[in-house]
Amino acid sequence: MTKEHEEEMAVSDEQVENAEESPVLYERDGAVGVLTLNRPKALNSMTVAMLETIGHLLDDIETDPDTRVLVLTGAGEKAFCVGADLKSRGKEFEAGLIHDPLGLLVRSVFGRLENLHVPVIVAIRGYALGGGLELALAGDLRIAAEGARLGFPEAKVGSLPGAGGTQRATRLIGPGFTKELMFTADHISAQHALSMGLVNRVVPDEDLMEETMKLARRIASRAPLSHDRVKALVTRATETDL
């Protein structure tokens, strides 16, 4: 084998390895789909590849009559998601891109999750910060492990939540709590989040997925047509007068 062939094989092996490390995992357990952010070493921070993969999976879920509930969670013990991958963002800026591919995908994917015809339950373990918390807010229900920490840290660096967090958090917990979270940039505990109404339930860390799946299966056993209509009507209720 020539040196050139060895180099070609090395590149091919690397490409195969990268292809196998999918940034998102998906499986279906009966009528419940489970979508897992799969970048635990990077605290499940979001990249273009991750969001594009989620978009493709949503294409399938939207046309799959057998999926009645979607569970969204993050791999590993440290974080659900800590927002955008800053290294990835830095490369975009260095490349001088005029458009914002990650930002465009964030708005598209979050909107599609919010408007998905099936209930979306977000299981939060570890950190859910910035864009990661905004992602969680795009779901219908949120279950947090006791050790979870949630917050909008943008004010520490002179930024602001730009993926719908100001709107979705305000609709969920009101302007007072939303401003407190965003002004202070504090990381709050799961119990504090529960008291605000930011999450629906808090469970022991070791029981997070078991309790989430238990709720998901119970919801999946109900009429999907009702879920679709309820989602649309409740969402509309937060935006319009009687």
Of 161, 127, 132, the C-alpha closest to 147 is 127
pLDDT in tens, the chain (242 residues): 444 433 333 333 333 334 448 999 999 999 999 999 999 999 999 999 999 999 999 999 999 999 999 999 999 999 999 999 877 655 555 555 556 788 899 999 999 999 999 999 999 999 999 999 999 999 999 999 999 999 999 999 988 888 899 999 999 999 999 999 999 999 999 999 999 999 999 999 999 999 999 999 999 999 988 998 999 898 888 776 55
CA angle 46, 50, 51 (to 5 degrees): 85
Quote the CA–CA distance of 31 and 50 in Å, as a whole number: 24
Task: Give all domains of the chain, ordered by start, each with its CATH number.
Answer: 28-237 (3.90.226.10)
What are the pLDDT digits (tens) for 13-29? 333 334 448 999 999 99
Indicate whether this model's pTM tops 0.85.
yes
- DSSP code at position 117: S
43: exposed, middle or buried (C-beta count within 10 Å: 0-12, 13-18, 19+)? buried
Query: Coil, helix or strand for 78?
Result: coil
Say if CB 80 and CB 125 are below 8 A apart.
yes
Q: Report the catalytic residues.
A: 134, 154
Q: What is the pLDDT of residue 83?
A: 94
Of 110, 119, 167, 116, the C-alpha closest to 142 is 119
